[in-house]
Structure 1
Amino acid sequence: MKIVSKAVSLAMVTLIIFISISTTNINTYACLNLSSNNRNVVNAAVIFFRMDDPFTMKTAESLENIAKDNKNNIKFTFFDPKNNIAVQNEMLDSVVKSNYDLIILYLSNNKQDVVADVINRVKTKNKPLILMNIPTDVISNVYNLYNKIAFVTPDSKKAGVAEGKIIADLWNSNKMDIDKNRDNVLQYVLLQGPTNDPQVVDRSKYAISTINDSGIKTEQLIAINAGWYKDLAKDSIESLFLKYSDQIEAIISNNDAMAIGAIEALQKYGYNTGDKSRNIAVVGIDGLQEAIDLIDKGSMSGTVIQDSNVLAEVLYNVGMNLYNNLNPIENTNYQIENREIIIPYPYDVYTGKLNNQ
């Protein structure tokens, strides 16, 4: 009887374990099934070439705000390759293989072979792709590699024109303060971003041409590639100031971060601290709050505003359209030029509280 009893008990225990395991497997399967079949939140991977850039940080914040307002539609995950091409490639490989539905990518290297390779890698997994700030000539050679891609770029010509107009207006209204050597020529230093970024060429070219078109003669003392970095711009101006200090009448910067670095360098030598006789006109692009504060203090002359919310909306709307197999600009008022979706920045300028009232 004891043997029979033990046998019955063992059978019951085995049955209970079997039922328990079976139930667990069924519940797990049901949960996975529910998740995969009913998920409608787009999981978007955002890889900017660096995340410590102030405007990039503002853009990431704007995207996060969109995600909060549309939490049933999209989720953004940010990756920071720290401007390292090898790291960016590793991150892209990981993202392509992972459970992401949309990839937004700002490449640190936008040469044609690199861009084509990226497109083909994403294409193998059939994931929608947004590429930012790719040169027009590159786009014309790679756009037909994949049908789930969109190219997004700002109209940097307009940004350059707006920046040049700030300088032209300053010259026309305060020429005696700017033209320190009274030679009727604007001597300037140009702070540029990376030379492989199409924004850099247009911002620089059209800022200067706008000044010249206003009837103002210019002389470029030196152009510095500071790579969008505040600290690099600061160090460059510090080292060059002793050579050019009595010649510099303006510093024209491709972005606010470098302009802010330039101002910090100037202030080290007692310039741009409030004394009009020791002030050099400094202008930038982005509309960063720090730049606006410096303008209000009289340390910076002006900035061209790029609204990060506008860029975030474009990335969201275009991304959702791609994910839903729609035309990238479906239900938007975006314009396409040379196969590029133009970010509709208004490019307002800020030159101080009184001037902007």
Structure 2
Amino acid sequence: MKKIKKKICSAAALTLGAALLLAGCGSEDGGQKEIKKLKIGISVYDQYDTFVSEIVSYLQAYAKEKEKDWGISITLDVENANGSQMIQNDQMDGFIRDDMDIACINLVDRTDASTIVEKAQASNVPVIFFNRELVEEDLERWDQLYYVGADAFESGKMQGEILVEECKKNFSKIDKNGDGILQYVMLEGEAGHNDSMVRSMSVISEITDRGYLVEKLSDEIANWNRDQAANKMKQFMEKFDDEIEVVLANNDDMALGAIDALTAAGLSTKDENWPVVLGIDGTTVGLEAVEDGKMLGTVLNDAKGQARGMLELAYSIVSENSLPEEFELLDGKYIRMPYQIVTVDNLGEIQMKLMK
């Protein structure tokens, strides 16, 4: 496969300073390679991760739509690595044997991308990593490696903003013991996972930077998993009981696990001891929990936008065509979709957006 030749397009002046905009960059000769098919190998770290499965569903739906628009056949080979980096490495071998035009990899271990990178480069198969961001040094090892996702810091900050805005309106209701301090527990994704670490840090920074005092009662790793989170929340409740005022979860599945444990203990949202629960991702089930009042809010991680960005980028790479303007390729490597705060106040608007 011929490599894309990247170039920097003309700069546009921005107010209060000049900045370079990378947009509409195609092959150096401005041409487009005619293709009749697009074969994409997709490996996900865990098919039971709600958010990742939603990305795949959106990707499959968008591929059917774009087959007609582009006049080509699109084949998606979706594989589950089942939490094993070794299995995922083998799946990359399979993609190469099956002559996939490109691979989309949702890394099991973000710090262990070397094998996939080496296999891809040796076989000249471009790779789009998605959702679980690899180490920057690995992404720079070859010019045919890309990443589609979002900025984890932004999601944690927005999660903190949701709590801050609620505190402005109902602090005395949240601060059940009246000590002026928010007692919280945290459910974290994975040890060493970039999104987990950054979200955990930035949410607390946002809350304290806005002038609120916090006290961490406990935090536990729940591996993005609803059942694990329910077990951890049960342990929190056995130890701290009604001291828990806020539950901060790195994703919606873990927030829902906390809600499962609260419900199993016989609590309802009408009870005084029901804590504020916050998630991240804006999954379908997460949005339902916001609608039901079980979760104060979540942060929409644009699964639909990421899926579309991946497919558009894959087509752009293989056909040597330019990306649509809505997807900016930052530093020739990254597509980052923005997050969006979701509370009951804008829930209907978000749900309508996702239905389009």
TM over 0.5: yes
Corresponding position of 2:173: 177
Shift of 1:56: 1.0
Change (3 A) 1:152 1:294: closer
Q: Measure the CA separation in 2 of the matches of 1:60 and 1:355.
A: 23
Give the total of aligned pairs: 312
Seen in structure 2, the aligned counterparts of structure 1 residues 288 and 145 have a Cα distance that, compared at 3 Å, is closer
Higher relative contact order (CA 8 A, sep 6+): 2
Matches within 5 A, 1:289-304: 289-304=284-299
CA drift at 1:278 = 2.6
The 5 A counterparts of 1:1-357 are 40-71=36-67, 72-111=72-111, 114-133=112-131, 138-139=135-136, 141-271=137-267, 273-325=268-320, 330-335=323-328, 340-345=333-338, 347-352=339-344
Q: Which residue of 1 aligns with 2:22?
A: none
Which one has the largest radius of gyration? 1
What is the SS of the residue equivalent to 1:152?
strand
Amino acid at match of 2:97: K
Structure with more helix by fraction = 1
List per-residue Cα deviations over 1:245-269 (Å, max 9, x = no partner): 1211000011000000000001112
Structure 1 counterpart SS, 2:243 = coil
Inter-CA distance 222–156: structure 2 relative to 1 (3 Å threshold) = same
- Distance, in Å, in 2 between the alignment partners of 1:214 and 1:65 is 41
Quick check: 1:270–1:278 contact (8 Å CA) kept in 2? no
Q: What's the offset of the Cα at 1:73?
A: 5.0
Could you tell me which runs of 5 or more consecutive residues in structure 1 were left unpaired when the two chains were aligned: 1-37
CA shift at 1:202, angstroms? 1.8
Match for residue 29 of structure 2?
A: none
Relative to structure 1, the CA distance from residue 147 to residue 247 in structure 2 (aligned partners, 3 Å threshold; closer, same or farther) is: same
Distance (Å, rounded) in 2 between the aligned partners of 1:145 and 1:298: 47
Cα distance in 2 for residues equivalent to 1:321 and 1:354: 34
Shift of 1:235: 0.8
- 83 and 293 in structure 1: CA distance in 2 versus 1, 3 angstrom threshold: same
Q: Distance in 2 between matches of 1:355 and 1:344?
A: 19
Letter in 2 for 1:262: A
| SS of structure 1 residue aligned to 2:128 | strand
- Residues 355 and 104 of structure 1: is their aligned pair in 2 closer, same or farther, counting only changes over 3 Å? closer
Matched-pair contact (CA < 8 Å) for 1:151–1:339: no
Letter in 2 for 1:104: C
CA distance in 2, matches of 1:40, 1:160: 42
Q: Equivalents in 2 of 1:148, 1:355: separation in Å?
A: 38
Residues 355 and 100 of structure 1: CA distance in aligned 2, closer, same or farther (over 3 Å): closer
Contact 1:256-1:284 at 8 Å conserved across structures: yes
Percent identity of paired positions between Structure 1 and Structure 2: 24
Instruction: For residue 276 of structure 1, report the CA deviation from its aligned partner.
Output: 4.1
CA distance in 2, matches of 1:330, 1:270: 52
CA RMSD after TM alignment: 2.2
Structure 2 unpaired stretches of 5+: 1-33, 350-356
**What CA distance in whole angstroms lies between the structure 1 residues aligned with 2:62 and 2:325?**
16
